[in-house]
Amino acid sequence: MNVFRPLAGLLLACAALAVNAQTIIKFSHVVAADTPKGKASEFFAKRAGELTKGKVKVEVYPNSALYKDGEEMSSLQMGSVQMLAPSLAKFGPLGVKEFEAFDFPFMFDDTTELHAITQGPVGAAMLAKLEPKGIKGLAYWDNGFKSFSANAPLKSVADYKGKKFRIQSSKVLEEEIRSIGGIPQVMAFSEVYQALQTGVVDGTENPISNFWTQKMHEVQKHLTLTNHGYLGYAVIANKKFWDALPADVRGQLEQAMKEATVYANKIAQEENDLSLAGVKKSGKTTVYEPTKDERFALKKAMAPVHIKMTDRVGKETLQEFYKATGFDPTKL
Ligand code: LMR
C-alpha cells in the first residue's frame, strides 16, 4: 500500500478544514474606493488578512454597493454585515445623540482639537455607549472639514437664503442650514449626485474628497471653502460577532485596526487636498476661498445652533467638547 496516499488525504482534509475555518467579514461603506475611508478600509482588509494569516478575509463593499447609508446600521445590528464605518452623524438617529456634538458648526478649528476628542477618553466613552445597541466601536477615522457648494456663488450669508441643501439625517445639521436661511433636505448619500443634477436640491455640504469622487463638480458650479463643520467616521462591528471571535484573532484584528487608523488619519488631509486640485483642474466648478470676514459672518450666523441644540446633545458632552476646542458660542 502506498503510505503517502492516506497522508495526502489527511493533508487535504486539514487544508479543507482550514479553508472552512476562514472567517469572512463584510465591510460596507457608502463612499468611493479612492477616498480616505475607502482606502483605509482596503488597508485594514489587507492587514487583517496578513496578521491572521488568512484566517480572516475582509471583503470591502464601497459606494453603497451593499447598503445605502439609511440601511447600514440596522443591517449591522441584524448581523447581515459585520463591519461599517458610518459618518458620526449617523449615530444620532440611532439614539446615541452625544455623537451629534461632532455636527455642531465650527466646533473644531483643526485636527489637533478634533483628535483631543476622538483619540482621547471622551471619544472612547462615546464608543462605549454604542454597546447596548449591539455595536462594538473600534476606532475613529478622519475625513475632513465640509464645504458648501451650489449652482450660484456662496459668499455672504444672504446667498444661502431660500436654497435647498442636502444634508445627512441629523437634527443639528437641519438647524445649521436653517440658521443661514436655507432649507435642509435629508437624503441618502448615493442619491445626492442625481438630486443636484435634476435640481431637487440646490446645493450640499461635504468634504472635498466626497465632492470630487462622487463627481459633484459636474453638477455644481460653485464651491466655497467654508470648512464650517467636521465629517469623520466611527469604525464599528456587530458586537456579538466581534465578541465571539477567538481571542487571538480578535487581537490581530485590533492590531490591523490600529494600523489602519494611523494610515486613515495620515492620508485624510492629503486625499482632500488632491481632490481639491482635481476639482480646480476640471474647470467645471469655481472654487472660492472666503475672506476672513465672510467666514466669520457664517460662524456668527450659525452660533445659535449651539445654544438651541444643547439639550438634545447633552450639556456634559458639549462641555467636554468645548474644553478640548476652546469654542465658546456665547462669545461671538
Ligand atoms: C454623507 O452622507 O454625506 C457622508 O456621510 C458620506 C460619508 O460616509 O462620507
State the 10-residue block means of pLDDT for the chain, 332 residues long: 48 45 96 98 98 98 95 97 98 96 97 97 98 98 98 98 98 98 97 98 98 98 98 98 98 98 98 98 98 98 97 96 94 86
30 lines ligand 1 (CB under 6 A): yes
Q: Which amino acid does the sequence have at 22?
A: Q
Beta bridge partners of 206: 147
Which residue reads 476672513 in cell numbers? 292
C-alpha cell at 276: 481639491
Q: How far is it, in rounded angstroms, from Cα 105 to Cα 305?
A: 8
87 lines ligand 1 (CB under 6 A): yes
Q: Is the dihedral of CA 194, 200, 202, 205 positive or negative?
A: negative
Name the nearest CA neighbour of 89 among 9, 166, 203, 7. Answer: 166
**Pairing between β-strand 83-84 and β-strand 222-238 as defined by DSSP bridges:** antiparallel
189 lines ligand 1 (CB under 6 A): yes
| Span from the CA of 328 to the centroid of ligand 1 (angstroms) | 27
31 lines ligand 1 (CB under 6 A): yes
Give the position, in ligand 1's atom list, of the atom nearest the Cα of 205: 3
Q: Report the residue among 103, 166, 206 best suited for mutation to probe ligand 1: largest number of ligand atoms under 8 A from its CB.
A: 206
Residue closest by Cα to atom 1 of ligand 1: 189
216 lines ligand 1 (CB under 6 A): no
Q: What pLDDT is attached to residue 262? A: 98
By the 8 A CB rule, do 204 and 165 touch? yes
- Torsions phi, psi for 210 (to 5 deg): -75, -40
Cβ count within 10 A of residue 247: 7
Q: How far is it, in rounded angstroms, from Cα 311 to Cα 307?
A: 8
Q: What pLDDT is attached to residue 21? A: 80
Q: Which amino acid does the sequence have at 210?
A: N
What's the N-to-C CA distance of the chain in angstroms?
Answer: 90
Q: How far is it, in rounded angstroms, from Cα 227 to Cα 299?
A: 10
| Span from the CA of 300 to the centroid of ligand 1 (angstroms) | 25
| Span from the CA of 281 to the centroid of ligand 1 (angstroms) | 24
Q: What pLDDT is attached to residue 294? A: 98
226 lines ligand 1 (CB under 6 A): no
Q: Which domains does the chain have, with CATH numbers?
A: 11-101+111-267+278-331 (3.40.190.170)
By the 8 A CB rule, do 230 and 102 touch? yes
Q: How far is it, in rounded angstroms, from Cα 28 to Cα 14?
A: 31
Q: Report the residue among 30, 37, 73, 91 best suited for mutation to probe ligand 1: largest number of ligand atoms under 8 A from its CB.
A: 30
Residue closest by Cα to atom 3 of ligand 1: 189
Give 210's contacts (C-beta < 8 A, 6+ positions apart). Answer: 31, 35, 143, 189, 216, 231
- Region of 229 (left: φ > 0; alpha: ψ -120 to 50; beta: rest) is beta
